[in-house]
Structures are given as C-alpha cells and as structure tokens.
Amino acid sequence: MLERYGHGGDLRTAEEAFDIPAQKFVDFSSNMNPFGPPPSVKEVLHHYTETIGQYPDPAVRGLRRKLAEKHDIDENSIVVGNGAAELIDLIVRALQPKLTTLAIPCFDEYGDAIRKTGGAIYEIKLSEHNHFTLHSNFEHLCEAAAAGSLFMLGSPNNPTGQLVDPELIHALLSRGAYVVVDEAFMDFVPDEAKYSLIHEATRNERLFVIRSMTKFYSVPGIRLGYIVGMPRTLSGLKRLQIPWSVNSLAQLIGEAVLDETEYAERTLSWLQDERTWLTSALQALGFEVNPSAANYLLVRIPRNAGLSASMLQLEMGKQGVLIRDASRFPGLDHTYIRIAIKLRTQNEQLLMALSKCLSIRR
C-alpha cells in the first residue's frame, strides 16, 4: 500500500514495494506541476550558502510583502507556514471547533487535524451522480451550518477537482458558521478571481483561506503555504506556530517564484490543453473521468476490467508508474483512482501502462 504514510508521492515506499530506484518512477500519485521548479529556484539554491548561517526572518516579511502584492491585500492578513499542511493543523488548533462538517471525499488532513483536537466530525457524502459537486448538496450543507461550527472545504477539492461556488460559502457564513477554504490548487485555475475567497477572508473574521506554493511551483520538498484571514484572528494562530517555522530557503524560494510570470502562463495554458487530451484518452480506454478544474483527475476504473484500485496501483507500480488508490479517501469505493496530469510523453506512458493492465485482465 503506497499511501502507508497517508499521502501520494511517497517514492521511498514505492522503492521498497517494487524494488525500483525512487528516481525511476513516473509519479502520477502526487499533483506537482510537471514543468518542475521554475528556473529562479536554481538561482536561489546557488546563492543559499551565503545566508544559511543566519536565522530565517521570524516574521517572513519579504515573502508576505510579495504575496500581499500578488493578491492586492494587506500583508498583515497573511501568515506563512511550513506548507499548507501546517496551516490546516494550526487553524484547527486555533479555532478548537466542537463540530466540523466535511464534504467527503476530501483531503485526509482535515479530519486528522480535527480528530487531534478531539472535535466531532459531521460528514456529508458527495454524490458521484452529480460529479461530487458541493452545490448539489447546498441545502444539506446549509442545514449543517450551526452558529460557531466549522466547515473545511477544498476548492478545487482534492480528490474530485471540483471548485466550490462562492455563493455556498457566503450562505454558510451568513448562518454564523466558520469556514476554512483550502485553495491549495487554486493557482491552477485561470479564472481564479471568480472562485478564490481570499479578498472576503481579509474582511470576515469567520473565513480563512489556505494556499499552498508547493504544487504550482513544484517545490514540495521545501514546504511552503500561507493562510489569509483578518489580522486580529490570525494573531491567535501565530501564537501557536513554532518559531522559525518557515526556514530561510523556503522564504527565498517563495519570493523568487512569485516573479515567474512566464512559467505561470505556460502552466495554465499547458493544463487547459492537456487535461482535455488526457480526459479523452482515458475515456477511450473505458475509464470514467470526473470533470476537474485542477491538475489531477478522479477516474473510475472500467466496470468490466476486473481490477480494484489497489490491484491497478500494484500492476502499474510494477511498470514504474505510480497512481493514487483513491479508495483510501472516505466516501470513495475501490473503483476510484486519482491521476496527476503531466507532460504529454509521461501521459502517454501512463496510458500505455494502463492499457497493458486492462489487456492482461480482459
């Protein structure tokens, strides 16, 4: 089981499981930008020995300033963290919700963070019949919105790829609920202004938006994310954060990549084309593909394939191709896998390995 430690992209576990060197895998199980880190990252690394002997800026001033410029918000509305994962944990510890509603399937860390604080979880199961959209559960979600309760929602949601309609968030907030929107993959959405709740989060003390910089800039090794909210509410969260949580390399890389406009444009245009192409190619093999606004696809294995997600993951792994067994997300059964969208030659490799698995079984 490749998700032994809870996530995709675990090359060491794959190496142990398949006896193939970690660097030889083509990894579709974690959702990184396939262009790899932008050129400025190399430049930062080249000069890093000059500053490694100093403590990082405990207030992350340079990066917060650049993020504030990017989003046109006040830098005091931003707290930077050691990956979005740290901020999910921190916001739950800061809010200490008695009751949290999750729309499943969703990212495992929401439930894990809540369980650690002893809070109760109310799960609303999204339906495959309407592509796992939250909007089709609008009434149900609003009914669950007791004053003071918390909602943790992904937009785009992992693993479904579906965006949350901001109207739904407004409806939950108007009923007195707290809402954390995890926008870890929002940079991949070209019309982000239509969907991101960052600006509202700077004005509403019950709304928080979490962003990750690790996926879009393909730097998961450095851990970098940020949370946006009202400065007053964020100060409680900062008190819970360990000092120097964001190391200086992460801060420097974060500042550098925000200038990479050509990289960002190339990524957005690649994704539009490649997502359409890969969706059609998977459908031609008999897979059902959930519509996605992100750089990954939730895919259903053909019914007549005689393969469960874990079996398919195993067969693909033997060929050096890693996919996510999505049945490990609560709310999905053994017919679901999740696949990152990569560059064309890698996607072709994925399709070849998938057809091979299907032909062995049929």
Residue 332 CB, nearest approach to ligand PLP (Å): 15
Q: State yes or no: residue 111 binds ligand PLP (CB under 6 A).
A: no
Q: State yes or no: residue 154 binds ligand PLP (CB under 6 A).
A: yes
Q: Which amino acid is at 115?
A: R
Residue 223 CB, nearest approach to ligand PLP (Å): 6
Residue 314 CB, nearest approach to ligand PLP (Å): 22
Rank residues 169 and 357 by Cβ distance to ligand PLP and give the closer one. Answer: 169
Binds ligand PLP (CB under 6 A): choice among 85, 91, 153, 209: 85
Residue 210 CB, nearest approach to ligand PLP (Å): 7
> Of the candidates 10, 23, 193, 165, which has an alpha carbon nearest to the alpha carbon of residue 103?
165
Q: Confirm if 313 and 2 have CB atoms less than 8 A apart.
A: yes
Residue 188 CB, nearest approach to ligand PLP (Å): 12
Q: State yes or no: residue 161 binds ligand PLP (CB under 6 A).
A: no
Binds ligand PLP (CB under 6 A): choice among 2, 67, 80, 84: 84
Q: State yes or no: residue 158 binds ligand PLP (CB under 6 A).
A: yes
> Of the candidates 85, 132, 134, which has an alpha carbon nearest to the alpha carbon of residue 112?
85
**Binding segment for ligand PLP among 79-87, 111-119, 144-152, 163-171 (CB under 6 A)?**
79-87
Burial class (CB in 10 A: 0-12, 13-18, 19+), 1: exposed
Residue 145 CB, nearest approach to ligand PLP (Å): 22
Rank residues 131 and 361 by Cβ distance to ligand PLP and give the closer one. Answer: 131
**Binding segment for ligand PLP among 46-54, 83-91, 201-209, 342-350 (CB under 6 A)?**
83-91
Residue 232 CB, nearest approach to ligand PLP (Å): 25
Q: Confirm if 13 and 2 have CB atoms less than 8 A apart.
A: yes
Q: State yes or no: residue 83 binds ligand PLP (CB under 6 A).
A: yes
Residue 64 CB, nearest approach to ligand PLP (Å): 16
| Position of minimal CB gap to ligand PLP | 83
Binds ligand PLP (CB under 6 A): choice among 111, 225, 254, 317: 225
**Binding segment for ligand PLP among 43-51, 82-90, 128-136, 231-239 (CB under 6 A)?**
82-90
Count residues binding ligand PLP (CB under 6 A).
Answer: 12
Q: State yes or no: residue 163 binds ligand PLP (CB under 6 A).
A: no
Rank residues 106 and 234 by Cβ distance to ligand PLP and give the closer one. Answer: 106
Residue 124 CB, nearest approach to ligand PLP (Å): 17
Q: Confirm if 105 and 290 have CB atoms less than 8 A apart.
A: no
The Cα 155–Cα 92 span in angstroms is 18
The Cα 334–Cα 129 span in angstroms is 17
Rank residues 182 and 187 by Cβ distance to ligand PLP and give the closer one. Answer: 182
Interface map 182-221 toward ligand PLP (x if CB under 6 A): x-x---------------------------x-x-----x-
Kindly list the residues in this chain that would bind ligand PLP in the complex (CB under 6 A).
Answer: 83-85, 107, 154, 158, 182, 184, 212, 214, 220, 225
